[in-house]
Amino acid sequence: MSETAVQTKEVTPQVSGASKAADALEARLGALSLPAGGFTAGARAEALARLRDMGLPGPRDEYWRYTDPRAFNTARPAPLAIEENAPDSPLFADIDKLTLVFVDGEFDAEASDDLSLDGIVIDTLAQADAAGDHWARDLYGVLEASGQSPVKRPFAALNTVAARDGVLIHVTGKPSKPVHVIHRRADEAADVNWHHVVRVETGAELTLLETGMVGARSNGVLEADLAKGAKLHHITSKRAGHQTVGLSHIFARVEAEAQLKAFALSVNGTVMRHEGVIDIVGDDAVAHIAAAALGDGNVGRFHHDDTVFITHAAERCESRQVFKKVLKNGAEGVFQGKILVKPGAQKTDGYQISQALLLDEASQFLAKPELEIYADDVKCSHGSTTGAIDETALFYLRSRGVPYERAIVFLVLSFLADALEEIEDEVLREQINDRLEAWLTRRAKQ
Amino acid sequence: MLKIDNLHVKLEEEDKQILKGLSLEVPAGEVHAIMGPNGSGKSTLSYVLSGRDGYEVTEGGATLEGEDLLDMDPEERAAAGLFLAFQYPVEIPGVGNMTFLRTAVNAQRKARGEEELSSGEFLKLVRAKAKDLQIDAEMLKRPVNVGFSGGEKKRNEILQMAMLEPRMCIMDETDSGLDVDAMRLVSDGVNALRDAGRSFLVITHYQRLLNHIKPDVVHIMSNGRIVKSGGPELALQVEEEGYGDLLAEAG
């Protein structure tokens, strides 16, 4: 059934709503060319059953109340011109790293570095899936499946079904440089499902960078499994066109004494949603997830949603959520963040802050912070603020001769500073900061 | 240098007149002090002169070397040579003190059609001036005023003043929150900047600061106007007798 037929069919909602939704899902699946899978075949079949059971989300689903899921439900994305002059991604260009390039979500070996590096084994999903059994079999679709409760995430299941490629990284040591995944576009109508799996063994460490542009529509999943004392630092900055529709998910399992730090920078995009589902399962572990998003409603609709669910299931663990959004000209921001402290997760230290800087009265920010605590000796806090530029600080800067537009750039960077602080590596942080500054300076003039 | 003529100012948000016909002239090279009780309009005067939003000039005017100040944006006033040392310098997390200072210096130079300083030139200059004010490299690297003590913030204001080399400096209660040593440091910094081409308007509650920064003229302000002007002895009189008799005498 075509997309148009689904959208225009006149039905009475009570009787046919469910079948209409099921039709939409089948149309969505039908538009993708689904891989049969090798080592992933079982996981894909289970995910498909899960997905059919859940169905696509509707506006009445609790976690889709603030973000209209329709852009992700249509069978195909609207084609999106590929900007000729868009540089690949100057970000992280001049640091020593191992680069993998994906074009419309498929690995491009020629454009990529040699994948061998001490302390780490890198494969790509499509190749490994064709080759037979693989270590990632224990994780592919597994962390996604466990992240489906208590909140349903149908698009993550759809990703497990449909993902054609991605990177599989097994970290056994401390590689000398970060791994950098760069996404590129080729087909104007590409509907990309990428799926990465990372396993960081006991005491091993990895920094994973991810940049570039993904598809006219994209849906990504990163499954990360951190063994005892492992460290994973994930820094992503995906360039989006003004009309891009994108979803991404991180599913992480963090064992004892391990440290997960994730930071995402987003600029542009018409409807973007990032979900973080983090299970802290071992004592003394740390999980930080932070993001900065900037949008200007003047260049097309901007709607950005961060939805985070952190579960503490062990003692003396620390989690931090730091989410900042800068919204301008009718841009919309959403934050849904939850900390769940399970019985017995004593001495939990959970912190959550979501803040929006509204540069005008037309923009809006919706925040839904949640705490659910079943242990009695914990420290959890959450806060959410929405505010405008601080007039006193603006005057202070201008009184020193800093021009108005430049002063606004300073104050926006100042607002975002807490989120950027979550990037441990100073060089990487500086590069992200410079990228932001350039974007802000460019936009200030428009 | 600075000429204020019959200045009337009200708050934009509420119908409250703060300055009610204030006139004052600070010639080049002179230091003038303004003293006055709380609520007399001293801070409003400093904000109106430097261009803060929220005030409406209903009558009168102010010029800096003949140029109409009140017509300019705050950054234009700064480039024209006006500097306000804040009573409460603002903390700006995430923006390095050096980045801020260099942007300010170069923006002013650019606005005046002068060549911008290279990072090498800037660094050399800022290090020399910071040393005089006992501001160490660590303080320069930190975000603007974040984690600074009261004294450090005021020293940072004087460092900005020294780097920007304004012609007209307004100091809004710079002595507030300073201990004796910090007051001496700040005063030494200001005194080092005194020259024939630079003027100061020092706003203060107390005579104490004026022991260190010796004024040529002292003005007493009350209820939005200058009610009495005189030499440094006027400040001493305030210190000994309070404002009561002076204001009564001025009617």
Residue-wise DSSP of B134-170: T--HHHHHSEETTT--HHHHHHHHHHHHHHH--SEEE
Cβ within 8 Å, pair A411-B111:
no
pLDDT surpasses 60 at A355: yes
* Residue in the block written with tokens 């900037």: A294
Candidate from A402, A415, A420 with C-beta closest to B103: A402
Candidate from A395, A413, A414 with C-beta closest to B52: A395
Nearest CA in chain B to A411: B92
Do A58 and A154 contact (CB within 8 A), yes or no? no
The per-residue pLDDT for B50 is 95
Domain definitions of chain A by residue range: 3-11+21-444
Do A325 and A365 contact (CB within 8 A), yes or no? yes
pLDDT surpasses 60 at B138: yes
Whole-number Å distance between alpha carbons of A219 and A57: 15
pLDDT surpasses 50 at A375: yes
DSSP secondary structure code for residue A60 in this structure: T
pLDDT surpasses 70 at B29: yes
Lowest mean pLDDT among A90-99, A235-244, A333-342: A235-244
Whole-number Å distance between alpha carbons of A180 and A194: 15
The per-residue pLDDT for B139 is 86
Beta strands in A104-190 (DSSP E): 106-107, 120-124, 167-171, 179-184
Lowest mean pLDDT among A48-57, A134-143, B126-135, B198-207: B126-135
Mean pLDDT of A238-258: 90
Q: Which residues of A touch B117 (CB under 8 A)?
A: none
ipTM of the complex: 0.95
Residue B27 CB contacts under 8 Å (≥ 6 apart), including other chains? B1, B199
Do A119 and A174 contact (CB within 8 A), yes or no? yes
Amino acid at position A3, single letter: E
Average pLDDT, chain B: 91
The per-residue pLDDT for A425 is 93
Q: Which residues of B touch A411 (CB under 8 A)?
A: 92
The per-residue pLDDT for A446 is 61
Q: Residue B3 pairs with which residues in a beta bridge?
A: B25, B63
pLDDT surpasses 70 at A87: no
The per-residue pLDDT for A285 is 98
3-state class (DSSP) for residue B184: helix
C-alpha distance from B188 to closest chain A C-alpha (Å): 21
Alpha helices in A63-218 (DSSP H): 70-73, 125-131, 142-146, 154-162
Cβ within 8 Å, pair A410-B92:
yes
Mean pLDDT of B112-131: 91
| Residue A287 C-alpha from the chain's centroid | 15
Cβ within 8 Å, pair A395-B79:
no
Nearest CA in chain B to A418: B94
* Residue in the block written with tokens 């004892």: A256
C-alpha distance from A138 to closest chain B C-alpha (Å): 42
Residue A16's pLDDT band, with cuts at 50, 70 and 90, is low
The per-residue pLDDT for A275 is 97
Q: What would the two tokens of residue A306 be?
A: 């961060």
Compute φ and ψ for B132, nearest 5 degrees: -60, -30
pLDDT surpasses 70 at A88: no
Average pLDDT, chain A: 91
The per-residue pLDDT for A443 is 77
The per-residue pLDDT for A86 is 54
What DSSP line would sit under A389-406, residue for residue?
Answer: --HHHHHHHHHTT--HHH
pLDDT surpasses 50 at B214: yes
- What element of type H or E holds A304? strand A303-312
Q: Which residues of A touch B156 (CB under 8 A)?
A: none
Residues of B engaging A, defined by a Cβ cutoff of 8 Å: 50-53, 73-75, 77-79, 83-84, 86, 89-90, 92-95, 100, 103-105, 107-108, 111, 143, 160, 164
Whole-number Å distance between alpha carbons of B115 and A232: 47
SS3 of B80-112? CCEEEECCCCCCEEEEEHHHHHHHHHHHHHHHC
The per-residue pLDDT for B89 is 94
Q: How many CB pairs under 8 A join A and B?
A: 80
Do B215 and B33 contact (CB within 8 A), yes or no? yes
Residue A154's pLDDT band, with cuts at 50, 70 and 90, is very high
CA neighbor of A420 nearest in space, from A305, A285, A278, A261 = A261
To the nearest 10 degrees (0 to 180), the angle between helices A404-420 and A391-399 is 120
